[in-house]
Structure 1
């Protein structure tokens, strides 16, 4: 059984039934059976199906946003925006998938040689709780457009959100077995990865869990895409637009109560403007209030689970004990729910928890750098490599940062975000493979070489 909790109140939500191993494997069998027919469906018809999915998602967006607020604490306005973005992802691949999958002629000693992109079969998506609609569509839209069938294993925190999401695919009248929900407990995931009908795996989650998924998939020689944790650095140089930079840093760090892999975790500020930036961030963080995510407001929602909140607080305490200054936040709130305040930690150095570890919550670590070289050194002092950013008006500094930052994404004078049009993913402990963009749709295909004499 799945036992979710409402993070706003701390109360248990109704228990949700989970599948045993035999029933889970029957679900896999349905997707495997449906795969050949879906692969043979003309790509224009697959595109039309995805457009219907987009419409059904928009029709259900208020219900989906309500369920996300209840099950994992996402503010309603953020949940509505997440569903809209997800619908846009389905439409993006509907509009562009045929072009991305078109055969490519390559010159050789043949009279005609080319590459075809063909589906692999059934793909398993193992998804987290922090963006349960968007992360599902990010995996499913390109995989379905490529002609694969998809099985979605949602996080146990969000079982009803998962049911409502898959209902949108059924409402869109996709053929039976093409897009399925798999409500199982975590201990069964390995058996499902091992199933001979599963041809590839997409995983979003922690680095430690990603290692286990990668090892299990590799044991079966199955390709995997892993989007894992991050400790994303943001460099602010003295010539930056500090007001705009601090607005975007605050937005990035506090959206979804800081529970985002690609949000800014570490801000590295050139010493000439360090005190100024710290004061500006304090003004923004100290004004952020905690509130019920089920109400229309811009307040900070709760952390999804109590164990996650306690782990975050432990990281904050260890960082302060190591010598960092806490300018605001840093205390466990009294009362119901799993709330944590917007917390600003200054003078954070390598070796401190908030610098070395991923902090998954509304906690920002600020470090001082002598110059650009020192800032880049600090930014790359991490085992992660998901997103990164820099704020400056100097073209040479921009080019140096783009070349030097060790991450899958670099944003210049803007926010690190996921966009259906652009590939997303990381290096190091942040995983491998890419989602989204033309690269994402080619992760779960057979890149078949054809040579004709």
Structure 2
């Protein structure tokens, strides 16, 4: 069994740093610290908690180039996008700084009682199991509202972004959060399972694959613990015949290729109505061909490398299997180690991996629909339910279809994206529970009824 983690730069395969996994004894001490701190943190006034977010915001912005460089080194994100991720974390801090007190205010309910209300109390120590693709944003959108609610957090991050995990803990401590509010745990799978089963850990939040979500949910269910699961996605981008391609094509390309396609909410399937299909395909190919490919450290680079070689290999297999089943390579499809060229497939049908699986990389599957009704039906033909986007000039008709979209998000004339002000999460195989907004701060609280006769 491995006792160390070595991070690697996916652009040049150079090793970055080796870290020792925590021993069981060290994890026990970390958990004890989290519980001890939580009792004190819960008693800390909300105004005091939120003031620390201002310091955290400034720490992020002051160090955004250094932190962005760390993201780029560990998982290959183009540097301009890495810095933008840090800036988005700062925005989230500002949002909860301004809104936490209102979100957690007692909700007065008129009943037969002299006084009755709902009190929002923290659950205790919460475990976050986080992914590598947005190594700061995913953690911040879990940790900040969870901490503001009065909980403390344990962070089990993806091993290939261990440096980011430790940098995040340092940021919180530098900003003045009490030691124990957010602690990184360098643990293996068995140690994570042990943490979930420990009575002091009250709940778990996972952002990751469907497979990981099922495993975490199984362990949490056995132990009667709440979990929030933000899992994979197979989002469709519906392009109807009246869509304004000149206005929205850049957004459509970004919806698939941002973060080198490694996003749960990326547009994986482009379902295009027949009258506009040929025009869309040619314009889309042209835009994809214009993307600047290169060193992730170059500020002009838009497509760098995938985070690991094995991830690129998996994507290649999905494409190859789809081609065997009849798909056509319309553009791209070359791979070298962790680099995967932006790729477009046509003649895609529902039995192909690029239609019915999550493709976590820069591959766009283009599907022709005879009419809008078929386009919406193809959109729904997936076990995932994270988000749908539709591009059309008839926004009234698109809004009328809201009730027929089963996903956690429905964006009209824009790409699906996370926003601190809006709840974020999925349905079906994309998981359950919500992050961000007021829903995110309620994810790990006891909504306690208080009744005074």
TM-score of the pair, normalised by structure 1: 0.97
Q: Report SS of the residue matched to 1:147.
A: coil
Where does residue 205 of structure 2 map in the other structure? 202
Where does residue 380 of structure 2 map in the other structure? 380
Question: Which whole-Å CA distance do the structure 2 matches of 1:54 and 1:219 have between them?
Answer: 38
127, 132, 136: which one aligns with 2:130: 127
Mapped pair 1:166 → 2:169: yes
Where does residue 242 of structure 1 map in the other structure? 245
**Following superposition of structure 1 onto structure 2, how do residues 299-318 of structure 1 map, counting pairs within 5 Å?**
299-318=302-321
**Following superposition of structure 1 onto structure 2, how do residues 289-368 of structure 1 map, counting pairs within 5 Å?**
289-333=292-336, 337-368=337-368
Displacement of 1:189: 1.1
CA contact (8 A) 1:60 1:168 kept: no
Q: Report SS of the residue matched to 1:92.
A: helix
Task: State the aligned residue count.
Answer: 450
CA deviation vs aligned residue, 1:248-307 (integer Å, no higher than 9, x gap): 111111111100010111110100001111111100112224311122223311111111
Q: Gapped runs of 5+ residues in structure 1?
A: none
Question: Which whole-Å CA distance do the structure 2 matches of 1:95 and 1:205 have between them?
Answer: 29
Displacement of 1:67: 0.8
Mapped pair 1:451 → 2:451: yes
Question: Which whole-Å CA distance do the structure 2 matches of 1:230 and 1:64 have between them?
Answer: 27
Q: Report SS of the residue matched to 2:429.
A: helix
Q: Report SS of the residue matched to 1:269.
A: strand
Q: Report SS of the residue matched to 1:118.
A: strand
168, 190, 194: which one aligns with 1:191: 194
Displacement of 1:399: 2.2
Question: Which whole-Å CA distance do the structure 1 matches of 2:297 and 2:108 have between them?
Answer: 53
Q: Report SS of the residue matched to 1:157.
A: helix
TM-score of the pair, normalised by structure 2: 0.97
Where does residue 278 of structure 2 map in the other structure? 275
Runs of 4+ in 1 over 6 A off after TM superposition: none
Question: Which whole-Å CA distance do the structure 1 matches of 2:396 and 2:373 have between them?
Answer: 12
Q: Report SS of the residue matched to 1:15.
A: strand
Displacement of 1:396: 4.2
CA contact (8 A) 2:395 2:412 kept: no
Q: Report SS of the residue matched to 1:151.
A: strand
Mapped pair 1:286 → 2:269: no
Q: Report SS of the residue matched to 2:15.
A: coil
Question: Which whole-Å CA distance do the structure 1 matches of 2:188 and 2:247 have between them?
Answer: 44
Where does residue 417 of structure 1 map in the other structure? 417
Question: Which whole-Å CA distance do the structure 2 matches of 1:233 and 1:322 have between them?
Answer: 21
Question: Which whole-Å CA distance do the structure 2 matches of 1:123 and 1:27 have between them?
Answer: 13
111, 116, 121: which one aligns with 1:118: 121
Q: Gapped runs of 5+ residues in structure 2?
A: none
